[in-house]
Amino acid sequence: MPEPTSERIRIDKWLWHARFYKTRALAQSAALSGVLRLNDARVEKAGVSVKPGDVLTVPRGRDVLVVRIQSCGLRRGPAKEAQALYEILNPQN
């Protein structure tokens, strides 16, 4: 059985599982475009690995959402399941 610290997933797949993008292709495009930041480093590849504890910055229209990854997730489930994959660090009011 693998250690929990070795839990990793591609950033495009995680963004799709967490429902930040409607399709995996849109998540891949976002990762390739350089608009995402992972632990304050610009992301330019869809295959970049993320793990629980990483901090991800995602543009949402005119706002920027900063989240801490809680879990990698096994599938793209319902919204309630997707929201359990991350913790919002900068609540937008």
**Alpha-carbon distances, residue 48 vs 5, 40, 61, 88 (angstroms):** 17, 14, 23, 21
pLDDT 10s digits, 29-66:
999 999 999 999 999 999 999 999 999 999 998 999 99
Give the pLDDT score at 1.
44
Give the pLDDT score at 91.
75
Domains, the chain, ordered by start: 4-88 (3.10.290.10)
pLDDT 10s digits, 2-38:
444 569 999 999 999 999 999 999 999 999 999 999 9
